[in-house]
Structure 1
Amino acid sequence: MNTLTNVKKSQGIMMFIILLLSYIVFASNWVAGSNLSEKIVYHYFNGEQVSPMVSEVINYTITIARIFANLVAAYILLKLNPRKASIVALVLLCFSFVAVFATNYWLYTIARMIMALGGSMIMVYMNTVVARFIANDEKIIASALVTASYNIGAGLVAIIFFLYKDVVISDWQHTMYVFSLFSILLLVLWTMLAKDFSPNDENTHHQEEYKYKDALTDKFVYCFSMGFGGFLFLYVMSLVSIPVKLVAQVNNGFNAEFMILAITMGGIVGTLFSILIGKVPFERKPFLLVHGIMMIIAMALGLYMAYINPRLAYFLFAIGGFVMFSQYSVYLNFPHELPNMNPRKLTIMFGVFWALGYTIYTVLNFIWSIILSYYGWDLSMVFYIVCSCIYIIFVFTFPALKVQTKRAIS
């Protein structure tokens, strides 16, 4: 069993990079599919008009899959160890390729759901690798890269769709086929290069073993997950569900791709900012509260200005993206900085965080779709902004942290 723990830090970082690239591919595949949703629905329903809830069903299934995946990811990891568990996740991610050849919308939806299982498991396993191989004073930088991964994927899609829109929308199957090939490539790379290690910390043998039941009775886990759900609702909706529908509302030359690009590019700059301040000791809780308020105000103003001045709206969306991601890595790194943390505990906690967070996001997304269908756009936007404030409410409950710099858990 010693071979499980005899992995060099450089090998651990290489594995982290492969998983990071895999999540970028997952994000780009998800966002590309959302941008092509009208073409996909048209293809499978032979041009018939369908309810907004039908066109959103793929997003519901992806988020439901992510909930389930995050609950089982830690169990699979502890049974198989990281290398084999990640192979399982990457194989599931490759179902994006299978989805392209689905003969009806519901088979397509199931294949995309399986793809989402893999993507969510990869996110959990990245945190295990970070906990095992990255020093504590560098974890916030690794967390910044993890948080940037979705933005990078979404940003790449926005650029490709802007530069080559006529090409990518002319045949949605060919477009999704190309995106899916990268999943297969990364599976091959992981199988060839990854090494196995134990997710348990060698220094925790004399401590009581952390289990799922411990996470499910931990108040912080619920507060963190509720805040995370509010953040996801604000962020994911701004890239996946709102842009195309906003264009249909304003009719003034507003561009959905520009909105996505503004948010993602602002997010990438915000991530770089968080990396720069990563090693600076500062109080986490006030930082999160101020940035949380700023991001919600920026997004609300951007939605309002889309009707009046699209360029100013893009600027506000970029500010919103910047503020979201200048804090997101700090937020996701918060559990790493709690006392008595180890890779096993983090793996279980993050599995629950992501599962509960996406449960909240899915419920809010579903209610938003009902409001949009039956009560109209304006009320749906009020619901969107108000429910995003859940993030701020639960950050208030976080403990104050005295940030310390220590070596990696290894």
Structure 2
Amino acid sequence: MFRKSVIEIVVFMTYAFFAMSWVAGNMMTKDIMSFYHVEGVTAATWMTNAITIAKIIGNLCAAWFLTKLGPKKAFAFASILIVAGIIGAFVSNYPMYVVTRLIMGFGGAFVIVYMNPVVMNYFSKGELPIVNGINAAAFNTGNLLAILFTGSLLAQLGTWQNVVIGISVVSFVLLVIWMIFSEDFELSSSKDGEAKKSYGLGDGVKDPVNWFLPFAYSGVLFCYISVFAIFPMVPNFAAEAKYLSSILIAAGMVGTVVGIIVAKRFTTRVPVLRWSGLFMTIFAAIMAFTSNAAIAYSCAFLAGFFMFVPMTSLVTLPYELPGMNPGRIAVVFAMFWSVSYIIETILMYISGRIADASGDIMISAIFAIVCSATLFVASFLLPEPSKQKAVADASAAPAE
């Protein structure tokens, strides 16, 4: 019990501090660009784009490294890449700094995939909703840590380089703890000990559920990012943009807790995805169109709440599919994160084109809200694990 608790804490905090480093870097953009004497919005976006590119490519590569290195070394390798972000504090030019962000991004991409086989190996089916719900909040936790502490860290440590070093040192400590407490385990065996056929990326590409899952999440991810990137640019918005991010994070924390309780109490997953997806889109639409500030803030909270309630059910659903094992779950989530970010990137590009063509950023905001309905739509495509299990049990039962 102690070992798996320590391992879960390390897995969660490793990704949370990766997220903190990512967001803190974005928050210190002006300081970093000033240090390197770089100007222009395009140059600034490369810091974020580097990590996004790394996540898209890295997620797909993660399963291969897991197979070659084994769980313990693969996660350690991912952690080393995150810690390597410290190099960014010492490089002398901006392109090299962007490269260090790319390297760190690969580490984060690997970690978010590897946490799934680790969870599947150490935790029972009854524990999965709680652990998956907690892990689903890791990025949001890192985001919150960055918002709360980046300013004070910058004031106390003096330079953005020292902030980068400080966060990287914590990530290094987590790596050391991982090496002490972690162990390798079999990737192709299920919980019942039965050996399964190896499941590679080629198998994953042929499996429809591996496309439906990222489609479900992609619109939600796009809408979430749009709250920070697009909504602040909307003029005459009833809710002040500077408060939206805080409201969304607070709502996300509450929604995550409720999502864990719901996933723990009910065995069905699809209804949670369907109704949460519908309510999220409805409240986001009301938030965008109302002229009443109180209604806008209330709907912003409710939209954020229903954005995070289904996350535990969404990420737990693949674990409960028949024949799932640590190796297969790694491929499932490698595709989940990579395809989600590919679709989100395309949607963000389309959104920008819409704003440029129409001259109205509000249309882009509406587009983001409409796209959030992918979760609702995908709920009619995704399998219900509890029903599949009932069919499988009935098929396995001896004829009377």
- TM-score tier, shorter chain, comes to 0.7 to 0.9
Q: Distance in 1 between matches of 2:200 and 2:15?
A: 26
The residue that corresponds to 2:253 in the other structure is 268
Deviation at 1:59, TM superposition (A): 2.4
Match of 2:166 among 178, 190, 193: 178
In the TM superposition, 1:49-128 aligns within 5 A as 50-51=40-41, 53-128=42-117
- Tell me the distance in 2 between the aligned counterparts of 1:113 and 1:325: 28
Q: Deviations over 1:219-276 (max 9, x none)?
A: 111111211222221223434x346x44x845999362x3222211211111111222
Shift of 1:118: 0.6
Change (3 A) 1:370 1:30: farther
Q: Kindly provide the amino acid, as one letter, of the partner of residue 254 in structure 2.
A: V
Match of 1:351 among 334, 353, 360: 334
Please point out which of 208, 212, 215 is paired with 1:219: 208
Unaligned runs of 5+ in 1: 1-8, 406-410
Amino acid of the structure 2 residue aligned with 1:275: I
Matched, 1:234 2:223: yes
User: What does residue 26 of structure 2 align with?
Assistant: 34
Partner of 2:395: none
> 1:194 maps to what in 2?
182
Work out the CA distance in 1 between the residues paired with 2:235 and 2:97. 29
SS at match of 1:398: coil
**Which residue of 2 is the match for residue 3 of structure 1?**
none
Quickly say closer, same or farther: Cα 1:304–1:106, change in 2 above 3 A.
farther
Tell me, yes or no, if structure 1 residue 340 matches structure 2 residue 309: no
Give 2:142's aligned residue. 153
User: Is the alpha carbon distance of 1:253 and 1:279 closer, same or farther for their aligned partners in structure 2, counting shifts above 3 Å?
Assistant: closer
Equivalent-residue separation in structure 1 for 2:69 and 2:385 (angstroms):
34
* Deviation readout 1:156-181 (Å, 9 max, x if unpaired): 222335x8498389843343333333
Query: How far did residue 54 of structure 1 move?
Result: 3.9
Secondary structure at the aligned position of 1:319 is classed as helix
TM-score under structure 1 normalisation?
0.84
SS of the aligned residue for 2:164 comes to helix
Change (3 A) 1:294 1:344: same
Residue in structure 2 matched with residue 23 of structure 1 by the alignment: 15
**CA deviation string 1:283-340 (max 9, x = no partner):** 32222111012222333433455x762x654443322222111111111111111112
Asked if structure 2 preserves the Cα contact closer than 8 Å seen for 1:224 and 1:395, the reply is: no
Q: In 2, are the aligned partners of 1:140 and 1:329 still within 8 Å (CA)?
A: yes
RMSD (Å) for aligned C-alpha atoms: 2.9
Gaps of 5+ in 2: 391-400
Contact kept in structure 1, 2:188 and 2:195, CA below 8 Å: no
**Residue 370 of structure 1: CA displacement?**
4.2
Q: Which residue of structure 1 lines up, in the alignment, with residue 398 of structure 2?
A: none
**Is 1:386 aligned to 2:375, yes or no?**
no
Greater length-normalized contact order (CA 8 Å, ≥ 6 residues apart):
1
2:389 corresponds to 1:401: no
Between the aligned partners of 1:350 and 1:364, the Cα distance in structure 2 is 21
SS at match of 1:277: helix
Which position in structure 1 is the counterpart of 2:240?
A: 254
Match in the other structure for 1:324: 307
Alignment of 1:139 onto 2:128: yes
- For residue 183 of structure 2, give the secondary structure of its aligned residue in structure 1: coil
Contact 2:121/2:185 (8 A) holds in 1: no
CA pair 289-376 structure 1, distance change in 2 beyond 3 A? same
Q: Which residue in the other structure is 2:270 paired with?
A: 285
List per-residue Cα deviations over 1:321-360 (Å, max 9, x = no partner).
Answer: 2211111111111111111211111111111111111111
CA distance in 2, matches of 1:302, 1:41: 35
Partner of residue 155, structure 2: 167
> Residue 214 of structure 1: CA displacement?
1.2
Q: Secondary structure at the match of 2:386?
A: coil
